[in-house]
Amino acid sequence: MRRNPANSGTRKTDNRLIGYGGPSSIGRMNANPQPEPAKTPPGPVNNPPEPAKSPPEPVEALIVVDVQSAFFAGEGAAPHAAAVQERTEDLVDRARAAGALIVHLQNDGAPGMSDEPGTQGWELHLPVTPGPREVVIRKTLDDGFHETPLGELLTETGVRSLAVCGVMSEMCVLGTARTALEREYRVVLPHDAHGTYDVPPAPGETEGVPAAMASRVAEWALGDEVEIVAYAKDVPFQAPPGPAAT
């Protein structure tokens, strides 16, 4: 995946948190281990989120971001990708059962990257049930809306609310969620269903940023419009009001 400078945005001062009690360790991924990995400090960072006090309203679409074999299987797979995968599978199953729209975003990596088109790593890691309510959309940048039919599809099906899950928290998950917010969609981000890699130390520094912290910072960067839900299992779905995609 490549970073998209257009996704820099303006950081806001708060998040809308639903049942959030602090970052979990599900996003602790590292395909390129550092000699001196960052140590996770004690305290709230390691505490699991508290149960939601009130469940969110149902969403009409699920955007599954870059759940591809490069990041979930084989050599270089994320150490804790299984947790993100399990929660994503549950989200997909329940979205299908409710008749919600499901969009699998598939990143086309640059030549030589682990997700380069045509390679095993580029393949989607979860089975897809193609149909009017479940589609695959390929992309080349972090933002799943950029030069793709995603926006048109959401409009055609009448979607106004959506959940986002997958990898990487601070790149494609953030970029896609941010554009959805800018387009005035209601966006729900289940905290335990997205993840990233440990961030290596900056030049001159001795410690990097643990993946769990990087994921939480990505949530924070979305500002006070996004709904952060502690557990993916608490995200409800419903069918969108518009016709199925053709």
Per-residue pLDDT of the chain (246 residues), as tens digits, is 544 333 333 333 345 455 444 433 333 344 444 444 444 443 333 344 454 457 899 999 999 999 999 999 877 777 578 899 999 999 999 999 999 999 999 999 999 999 999 999 999 999 999 999 999 999 999 999 999 999 999 999 999 999 999 999 999 999 999 999 999 999 999 999 999 988 899 999 889 998 889 999 999 999 999 999 999 999 999 999 988 876
Specify burial of residue 33 (Cβ count, 10 A radius: 0-12, 13-18, 19+).
Answer: exposed
Cβ-proximal residues to 157 (8 Å cutoff; 6+ apart), any chain: 60, 61, 101, 240, 242, 243, 244, 245
Domains of the chain: 19-29+55-234 (3.40.50.850)
DSSP-based three-state secondary structure for 160: coil
> Among residues 63, 172, 221, 226, which one is catalytic?
172
Q: Is 172 a catalytic residue?
A: yes
Question: Which tens digit of pLDDT belongs to each residue from 143-201?
Answer: 999 999 999 999 999 999 999 999 999 999 999 999 999 999 999 999 999 999 888 99
